[in-house]
Copies of this chain bind each other. A is one copy, B any other.
Amino acid sequence: MQQPADLLTSHGLDALWVTKPENVRYLSGFSTPKDGLVLLHKEGALLYTDARYTEQAKEECFIPQHIARHSDVIQHARTLLEGKVVGYEADALLVNKLHQLAGLQAKKLVPTEGILEARRLIKTPEEIQLIRQAQQIADEALRQALPSLRAGVREVDLALQMEVYMRSHGAEDRAFDITVASGYRSAMPHGTASEKVIQEGELVTFDWGARYRGYYSDCTRAFPVGEISEELKNLYRHTQKALNLALEAIKPGVMTSDLDQVARGYLEEQGLAEHFVHSLGHGVGLAIHENPHLARFRPDLPQYNVPLQAGMVITIEPGLYVAGVGGVRLEELVLVTETGCEVLSHAPFAEV
């Protein structure tokens, strides 16, 4: 990482009060970041947490720690920040906590967004290795669940089976509530597993991931149960084609909105674009959704459109959702490389 002093100076700050859990973990290594915060200042960084975590913090952190009760943190930090220009994360600080920051007696409190997120855009080899492992655990979870996929099984039971596999094979947790969406429910982009019983002739969407040492994975597959309709098969094949076209187009320098358009343009040609109701993908790392956004260009949000760079980890996840028919989404987790990309997800695909 750029030296803290340079990073802060470039934003006109003397220090940054870091409360977003993934940024706290990024800066410290502390694995319970919701119960800590990091003060980033020009000489370095300091983790604050409470006495429950003294030993854990000592073991995990690569920055110094200060153990204090909540009420004492401000008092301690004031000795470092009084009269200084102090940034805080406006998208990760509650209004009532902002009132507490007045106690720092800073010269100025500056709302910021995205400073550390910009650093997290390019992954180090160590980070890539952790994401790879998170995805491997997830790949295997689908493999061991697929034999249970048949008519008569409830969605929630498959989801639970996958989660149990991941958590008993090294995952800290599921990455998010697992989607298992069958039949009419597959037409919903966010079909968290329900008690619905899967039926013959349905297509079933799985969207799942693991969290491994703080890092996430994310992958989507769709599998038919028995024989499915020609209409569903068509949706499946066009989604797969859109996915592959986008994967082939990935390389450094390609703008994220242009990549989105590769998939969307193909679906437009097929007269299906109206059913692709979300964006193409997103970055993955210490958060399940992070920069970059892979989406259509929006004139009101030009900052979302950035060139791909080697070291980014992104998802490519075209989907088609047709009410009354069903839906398909297929998602790969991808590392952008110097020459193109490496697909990190290796979960099996259906043959449709």
Q: Using CB atoms and an 8 Å cutoff, list the residues of chain A in contact with chain B.
A: 52, 88, 90-96, 98-99, 111, 113, 156-157, 160, 164, 167-168, 188-190
A167 partner residues in chain B, CB cutoff 8 A? 156, 160
Contacts of A90 in B (CB 8 A): 94-96, 99
Asked if A188 and B52 make an inter-chain contact with CB atoms under 8 angstroms apart, the answer reads yes
With A167-B156, A167-B160, A168-B156 as given contacts, are A111 and B91 in contact (CB-CB < 8 Å)?
no
Contact check, B93 vs A95: say whether CB atoms are below 8 A apart.
yes
User: Is A160 within 8 A of B168, CB to CB?
Assistant: yes
Whether A95 lies near B96 (C-beta < 8 A) is: no
A95 CB contact (under 8 Å) in B95, B168, B188, B189: B95
Give min CB distance, A350 to chain B, whole Å: 25
- Pick from B88, B93, B164: contact of A160, CB under 8 Å: B164
From B111, B156, B157, A96 is in contact (CB under 8 Å) with B111
Q: Give the distance in Å from the alpha carbon of A157 to the alpha carbon of B189 in the complex.
A: 33
* In the complex, residue of chain B having the shortest beta-carbon distance to the beta carbon of A91: B96
Sample 17 A-B pairs with CB under 8 A, ordered by A number: A52-B188, A52-B189, A88-B95, A90-B94, A90-B99, A91-B94, A93-B94, A94-B94, A94-B95, A95-B111, A96-B111, A96-B113, A156-B168, A157-B168, A160-B167, A160-B168, A164-B164
Task: List the 6 closest A-B pairs by CB distance, nearest first.
Answer: A90-B96, A90-B95, A91-B96, A93-B95, A95-B98, A52-B190
| Interchain CA distance A92-B99 in the complex, whole Å | 13
Distance from A70 Cβ to chain B, minimum over Cβ atoms (Å):
13
List chain B residues, Cβ under 8 A from A96. Answer: 90-91, 111, 113
Q: What residues on B are CB-neighbors of A157 within 8 Å?
A: 168
A189 / chain B contacts, CB cutoff of 8 Å? 52
Tell me, in angstroms, the Cα distance from A7 to B82 when the chains sit together: 41
In the complex, A52 Cα to B98 Cα: how many Å?
32
| Docked pose: A164 CA to B162 CA in angstroms | 11
Residues of B within 8 A of A93 (CB): 94-95
Apart from A91-B95, A160-B168, 12 more pairs, CB < 8 Å: A52-B189, A88-B95, A90-B94, A91-B96, A92-B94, A94-B94, A94-B95, A95-B111, A96-B113, A156-B167, A157-B168, A160-B167
Chain B residues with Cβ below 8 Å from A160 are 164, 167-168
Which residue of the partner chain B has the closest CB to A71? B300
Chain B nearest CB from A53 CB (Å) reads 9
A18 CA / B5 CA spacing, docked (Å): 40
Residues of B within 8 A of A168 (CB): 156-157, 160
What distance in Å separates the Cβ of A174 from its nearest Cβ neighbour in chain B? 11
What CA separation (Å) do A98 and B92 show in the bound complex? Answer: 12
Q: Which residues of B contact A88 (CB under 8 A)?
A: 95
Please name the residue on chain B nearest to A159 by beta carbon.
Answer: B167
A90 to B52, CA, bound (A): 27
Residues of B within 8 Å of A111, CB to CB, are 95-96, 99
Q: Of all chain B residues, which has the CB nearest A154?
A: B168
Quote the shortest CB–CB distance from A165 to chain B (angstroms). 10
